[in-house]
């Protein structure tokens, strides 16, 4: 019996299997969007509860991952609406790297990787939510443009333009550093108000 059928029969072991299979994927997605590990875990817990309660709404078992992704994205959007930007702070969790090469990296290489991962994570988290969302889905979840458009209720061209703008902003953040980026954004906002 497939996992979705077992979930529809409200088997608790199926819920545990669902959490084991998709938990890390959903937490990574939520963390990159919400910038806070605890809040990301709460969003994922809510996602699993919602999925278990409303599993009857899922018509196609092969769409389970897409359906869960949509639920977690909606939870993240809801959380973002609740938060005041002043209350958001950054957490820097180091992303463990999978080593495919035979030799262990030197301490200097590990330090450089740690700094790069922290800078990249920090830069992504500085982006507006609309850019952070598409960059996370495209690069970290490896979704295609049409899938992202479906998850975000956007047009494909909107996703493409947000990806392009998000990449440019990310590049600027990484090249100029946060201070230079903030100064540039303030100038743009002032000129837009004039």
Report DSSP state, residue 56: G
Q: Which of 93, 123, 124, 94 is nearest to 110 (CA)?
A: 94
Domain of residue 2 covers 1-85
Contact, 41 vs 27, CB < 8 A?
yes
- Kindly report, residue by residue over 95-107, the tens digit of the pLDDT: 334 344 445 566 6
The H-or-E segment that residue 159 falls in is helix 156-193
Positive or negative: CA dihedral 70, 165, 34, 84: negative
Do 107 and 192 belong together in one domain?
yes
Do 111 and 150 belong together in one domain?
yes
Report how many domains make up the chain: 2
Give, in degrees to the nearest 5, the angle at Cα 166 between 152 and 25: 55
- Kindly report, residue by residue over 35-77, the tens digit of the pLDDT: 888 889 999 999 999 999 999 998 888 889 999 999 999 998 8
Residue 119 lies in a domain: yes
- Kindly report, residue by residue over 155-178, the tens digit of the pLDDT: 999 999 999 999 888 888 877 765
Distance CA 14, CA 6 (A): 6
Q: Cβ–Cβ contacts within 10 Å for residue 34, how many? A: 24
């Amino acid at each position: 019996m497939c996992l979705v059928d077992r979930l529809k029969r409200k088997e608790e072991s199926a819920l545990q299997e669902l959490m084991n299979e998709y938990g890390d994927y959903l937490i990574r997605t939520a963390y990159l969007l919400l910038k806070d590990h605890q809040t990301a875990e709460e969003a994922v817990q809510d996602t699993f509860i919602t999925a278990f309660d409303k599993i009857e709404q899922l018509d196609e078992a092969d769409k389970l991952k897409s359906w869960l992704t949509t639920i977690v994205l909606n939870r993240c959007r809801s959380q973002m609406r609740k938060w005041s930007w002043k209350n958001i702070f950054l957490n820097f969790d180091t992303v463990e790297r999978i080593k495919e090469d035979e030799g262990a990296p030197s301490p200097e290489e590990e330090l450089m990787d740690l700094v790069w991962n922290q800078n990249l994570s920090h830069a992504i988290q500085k982006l507006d939510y609309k850019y952070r969302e598409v960059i996370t889905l495209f690069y970290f979840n490896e979704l295609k443009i049409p899938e992202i458009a479906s998850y975000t209720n956007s047009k494909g061209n909107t996703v493409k333009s947000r990806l392009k703008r998000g990449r440019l902003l990310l590049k600027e953040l990484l090249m100029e550093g946060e201070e230079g980026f903030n100064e540039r954004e303030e100038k743009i906002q002032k000129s837009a108000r004039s």
